[in-house]
Every structure is written in C-alpha cells, then in structure tokens.
Chain A
Amino acid sequence: MIKQQAHTIFEPWLNPTEKPIIQFKNVTKRFGDYTAIENLSLDIYSKEFFALLGPSGCGKTTLMRLLAGFEAPSEGKIILDNIDIVNVPPNMREVNMMFQSYALFPHLNVYDNIAFGLRRSTMNKADIPDRVEEMLRLTQLVPLAKRKPHQISGGQRQRVALARSLAKAPKLLLLDEPLGALDKKLRHETQFELMDIQEKTGTTFVIVTHDQEEAMTVASRVAVMDEGKIVQVATPDRIYETPNSIYVADFIGDVNFIKGKSQILEDNKILVNWAEGQQPIIGTSEDRIDNGADITFAIRPEKVTISFEEPLDIANVFKGKILDIAYLGNISTYHLELPTGQNFKAQATNTHRIERRTYTWNDEVWLSWTDTAGVILSE
C-alpha cells in the first residue's frame, strides 16, 4: 500500500522541467518491406515502471531490441540520458534486458550466470562476490547458487534471469514478457515482487506484456500499441476510464459500444442519437466532437446499474431484458438485450448469497448510468 502512495506523488510526466531518461524521436524500423515500428515518439522518465501493452506481433519486442541495441532504427533517434545511442553497440549500453526465454547460460551455475556481466564490467574483481550475494538475496536464490539452470524450476529461472540483468545496476532494465511462462498464481506473486524490487533498486523498468491485467498492476504508465504505433500513453486508471479510441477501450477490460450521431449541448454535454424512437444517451467527451459527427459511446459494464424499479434523477435510463447471467463469484455479468435488439452487458457485485439472487433470465429490468459514466469517442 506504500506503493499506492508513491504512485500518487510520482508523476514526472506532468512536470515540464523533468527530463525523460529515454526519448524515442520519430523512430521507424523496417524489416525489408515490412514496417514493424512506424514513426514512433515516446518519453520515459527515470524510475518509471513503464509497460508496453499490445497484441502479439504489434512490435513490442522490436521496440525492446531497439533499446537494447540488437536492432538499429531505420529512421529516427533514440536518446538515453541525453545521448543518442543509435550507434552504441549493445555491450556498451547501460541497458540490460531480461529475455522472454530467460536465455540463462546452461553451462554455468546460478552464481556464474549472475556474475557473468560483472566479470565483464569495470567492477573491481574483489567486489564481485558481494554484489552477486546481494542479488541472490534480493531474488531469494541464496540456497540455489551452485545449481545449473536445468536443475531449478521455471519460477526460479525467472528470478535468476532478473538477478542477472539487475546485477550491473543498469540505468534501464528491459523485461520482455518476463512472467509469460509462469502459472497464474506465481505470476501474481511475481508481479508484486517485481514492483518491490523496482522500488528498492530505483531502476527504470520497461516491461512488455500482452496481459492487460499485468500492465495495470505493475505500471506507472501504460503504452497501448497497435501495428507498430502507440495508440495511447497514460496511467492505468486513465487508460481504463478515458480510453482515447475504440481500440484501447476494447483492448483493456470489458466494454459496451453504441454507435450514433452527436448533438452538442450548451454545457459541454453531448447527446448520442443512437436509434430511432429511443431517447438519446447523454455523455461527455475528452475530445472535441463536431455537431452531427459519427461517434461511438463506450461504457464499462460495471458502470451500469440494474434495477426493477425505474430509477429517478439519473441522466440515462433504458429498458433491457436479461438473456444470460455469468456468475463469476464476487461479481455477476448480465448479458442483456436493448429494445433495439442490440446486446449490452452490465455487471453487479454479489452482495447476496446466490439463492437470493434477485435477477433471473428473461426479467425486464431498468438500466441506468450517469452522464459521466461512459466516454464518447470520435470514431
């Protein structure tokens, strides 16, 4: 919970005098005819835990390899600590990477794997054992120091890879889907361990993941990628609450989309005319929306309230029929049908025991939400 507090005051990206530790300036990377990264600009600040989120093949690993120095950009600059590193080879960069496959050296034991980078650095030979011990303690690997990588479990290998990449105290640590190979429970534990280690060492972390929950849990900011471009960069709550596009809204969490035409009201409110004979939806938008434009209204299922009685004093009230109920333990998701035949999802927490569940199949219910519960997207 200390973490949470740190987050509320840690917002260097809002401070115009703060210099980013990494800057991508109009970086493009082509493989032959294929453009893996397209004119991408991005600032990452010191001590950030920055997450790159996107579907498989959108260029996350390529972005990491550009940072580590295994690939050179076709165009653009990459600045680390005020220096353009495009022509600096990987072994001269103060950047270390934790590989998706861990890439532990099979012929070396845990200790020698961790010491590998230190032995090739300017560090005094006599100081190496202390540093390795420190890393072993940090990652709780002390009893396994003499084992070979094939003699330890997947979770332990993951920690060796982390210890090895942290040993040289890099300015920047790159983690490419570090938890992808772990099972769900271990992954959750490790996420918190990672956050803890990041805090203790004060290293800037850039993590790649295709798991949105993981990105939301660990990151100070999340960049959502699509086909070599960054679609949105924001804090996890901003990404969730105010996605800037249908793509982002859809990629992160569950969402209902309703297409319609805009009608601008006086007080920054917007009406969404979404179906003949239906009362328009009242909402707001972060973007500038033109009158009469094609727009999409997006609302998360948990922002919708279900009730048997018609609610009063709330901006948006619609009728719906329950088609299906997915009981998920702490919450239930209701699949509904609007009078227009469109499907719609609503979510409610289960405060009653299951036998006393109030809603059932084919019930006609009222759906309601406030005017700020959803977002209007200009697409």
Chain B
Amino acid sequence: MNQSRFSWFNATSLTFGFAFLYLPMLILVIYSFNESRLVTVWAGFSTKWYGKLLQNDAFLDAAWVTLNVGIWSSTIATVLGTMAAYVMVRSGRFLGRELFSGMIYAPLVMPEVITGLALLLFFLAIGLDRGMVTIILAHTTFSMCYVSVVVTSRLITFDQSLEDAALDLGCTPFDAFRSVTLPIIAPAVISGWLLAFTLSLDDLVIASFTSGPSSTTLPIKVYSAVRMGVSPEINALSTLMIGVVTAGVVAFSLASRKIMINRKSDF
C-alpha cells in the first residue's frame, strides 16, 4: 500500500469535511441531553426533554401523521415506481419512449416549491380537502421516481431469458413476474421503499403546501416551533429523527449491498 495516502493534506481535508457535515448535528444531539432550558448553556446531563416530548400531544400527533404518510406513500410509490420501471425496461422501443422515461425522472430535478405549488393547485382544483390523504398523494408523486430509478438500474442487468424460461415452463406473464422477477429484484424494491420512506420523513416544502390544519408532519412542526425559539424539546425530537433517518440509510445501503451480491450469482 502507498503510505502517502495518509498525508497531512488528506487527514486535514477529511477532518474539515466531516466537521462541516456532522458538527452542527453533534451539537444538536448533545444539547438535547441538556438539563437547562437555555439552549446555549450546558447544565448537566438529563433525558427529561425526551420525557416531556412523550407528553406533548401535538408532537405525538405529528409523529403519527409522519409515520402514516411515510409508510403509505412509500408503499404506493414502490408499487407504482416498480411498475413504471418494469414497463420502461421491458417494453423495448415504442413511440415516445424517450419522452416517457424523461417524464418519469423529471420530478427528480424539479424545484420542490414548484412541485408543491402544482400539487396544491391540483388538490384545490379537484376539491380535495387538505389533510393526511393529500400529503400521502404528494409524497407518492415525488418519491415514485426515486423508486423507479433504483428498480430500473436493477432490471437493466436482469437476464430476460429467466422470464422466458418461466413462461416456457408454464407461467402466465403475471406469474412469471411474481415468482421469478420479483424475488430476484426484491432487494432493489426494498431499498427503493426505504429511500422513499426516508425522503417522505425528510420533506418540509411539499408537505407544507399540501398539509391541512388538522394534520401536520414532524418537519413542519419542528420548523414552526423553531420560529418561536429553539427549545431543548425540539433538539430531542430532532435527535430522534436523525436516529430514524440514519437507520433508514443504513438499511438502504445494506439492501444495496445485497443487490450486488445477488447480481454476482445471477447468470
């Protein structure tokens, strides 16, 4: 191995890079265990803000909404995104294929404010009252294309003769998908779901356009609470969210690793 890989320059860049990324979050996590109500003064270790959090109905409601929205939107997005990916990869060339696939990926680069606004106008136009349902629909809309990207990249390397073999052995096309294609691409589908779930948990902009007075998500709650002033309770809540998102990311990367291993064994 080359020793210069651990030069001073590299070590410094690494330290600064990680400091920029994680120092603010680290401070947030530390202050969530602060005894004092004052955010800037350390007064000893305590978990009392976590206890307070559990008694705060407004936060618990928001957490419940967030969880519901996350699970439902990522599940619907996974079904739709997988279907879209399958059709795009399998259908071969057809008129307007490029346009169609471009349209699936467009929301990836669309500014969230515009997506949010468009959805808001749409819901107003069809007369749908804003609430949990509208947030679920909105999140499904934008996370579906992420799922589709993940599943497409797996399907491209999927040997189509496996499906032909399934048909040859007596499967209907749907049965071939269910009993051959889906089990093999399952890790990609699962990581698509996790990605969608994490994105939904994260989202502030689109949710604030599409949520109603009866239902707010945690990010909205945190944001509006912070405008009143930072409290240790918010720090505690944010720490919990960091924990959930980290778990999601770790699970996603483990699932992706599983894909790589599966790919090696699929000939």
Contacts and interface: CB of A to CB of B under 8 A. Distances in A.
Interface of A: 68-70, 89-91, 95-97, 99-107, 116-117, 120-121, 148-150, 164-165, 168
B171 A150 contact: no
5 contacts: A68-B164, A99-B164, A101-B267, A116-B166, A168-B170
Contacts of B264: 150
Contact of A120 (B164, B171, B262): B171
- Most chain A beta carbons < 10 A, residue from B167, B265, B266: B167
- Most chain B beta carbons < 10 A, residue from A69, A100, A150: A150
A106 B265 contact: yes
B24 interface: no
Nearest to A102: B267
Contacts of B171: 91, 120
Contacts of A99: 161, 164-165
B129 interface: no
Q: What 4 A-B pairs have minimum CB-CB distances, sorted nearest first?
A: A117-B169, A150-B265, A120-B170, A103-B165
Contact of B267 (A68, A107, A149): A149
Nearest to B176: A91
Nearest to A101: B161
A38 to B, nearest CB: 23
B168 interface: yes
Nearest to B169: A117
Contacts of B53: none
Given A91-B172, A99-B161, A101-B159, A106 B266 contact: yes
A104 B162 CA distance: 7
Contacts of B98: none
Interface string B150-165: 0000000001011011
Interface of B: 159, 161-162, 164-172, 175, 180, 183-184, 262, 264-267
A106 B169 contact: no
Contacts of A104: 267
A173 B151 CA distance: 34
Given A97-B168, A103-B162, 7 more contacts: A101-B161, A104-B267, A106-B184, A106-B262, A116-B169, A149-B265, A150-B265
A165 B169 CA distance: 8
A121 B165 contact: no
A120 B175 contact: yes
Nearest to A170: B168
Nearest to A167: B169
A168 B169 contact: yes
A152 to B, nearest CB: 11
Contacts of A70: 164, 167
B159 to A, nearest CB: 6
B161 A96 contact: no
Contacts of B267: 101-102, 104, 106, 149-150
Contacts of B169: 91, 96, 116-117, 120, 164, 168
Nearest to B267: A101
A103 B159 CA distance: 8
A103 B164 contact: yes
B154 to A, nearest CB: 13
A105 B162 contact: yes
A148 B267 CA distance: 12
Nearest to B184: A107
Nearest to B262: A106
Contacts of A148: 265
B161 A117 contact: no
- Most chain B beta carbons < 10 A, residue from A95, A97, A100, A164: A97
A105 B175 contact: no
A90 B169 CA distance: 8
A102 B162 CA distance: 9
Contact of A117 (B170, B265, B266): B170
A260 B162 CA distance: 53
Nearest to A157: B267
B267 to A, nearest CB: 7
B179 to A, nearest CB: 8
Contacts of A96: 168-169
A365 to B, nearest CB: 53
Contacts of A102: 267
Contacts of A164: 165, 169
B167 A121 contact: no
Nearest to B163: A103
Nearest to B261: A150
A117 B166 CA distance: 8
A92 to B, nearest CB: 8
A121 B175 CA distance: 13
Nearest to B263: A106
A213 B265 CA distance: 32
B97 to A, nearest CB: 15
Contacts of A68: 164, 168
A90 B168 contact: yes
Nearest to B160: A103
Contacts of A91: 167-172
Nearest to B172: A91
A312 to B, nearest CB: 62
Given A101-B159, A101-B161, A107 B170 contact: no
Nearest to A97: B168
B169 to A, nearest CB: 3
